[in-house]
Amino acid sequence: MIKKKLAHEIRELSLNAISELSKILYISEGQCLDEEYELVKKGVGLSIGRIQTGLLDLMNSYYSEEDDLKE
């Protein structure tokens, strides 16, 4: 099992990566054709989804108290 400190660091870096990916949408909007923007948006969305399911969900399954999105 991944140690809690490492899980926390992976979680923080994953959230930072999602934030950086989201910036791609912000800088791309209105700067390219709609069709191109949709491709960029899809790429960003797929990437964020992989981070969520491949890293964040895994870390949260080990240490659910780290999941600040839980109710």
Computed from CA positions of residues 32, 38, 39, 40, in that sequence, does the dihedral angle turn out positive or negative? positive
pLDDT tens for each residue of 16-31? 999 999 999 999 999 9
Instruction: Give the Cα separation of 11 and 43 in Å (integer).
Output: 21
Q: Does the pLDDT value for residue 68 go beyond 90?
A: no
Per-residue CA distances from 55 to 31, 38, 62, 65, 70 (Å): 31, 25, 11, 15, 16
Collapse the DSSP code of 45 into the 3-class scheme (helix H, G, I; strand E, B; otherwise coil) and give the result: helix
User: Quick one: tokens of 49?
Assistant: 């989804």
Name the band, by pLDDT with cuts 50, 70 and 90, for residue 1.
confident
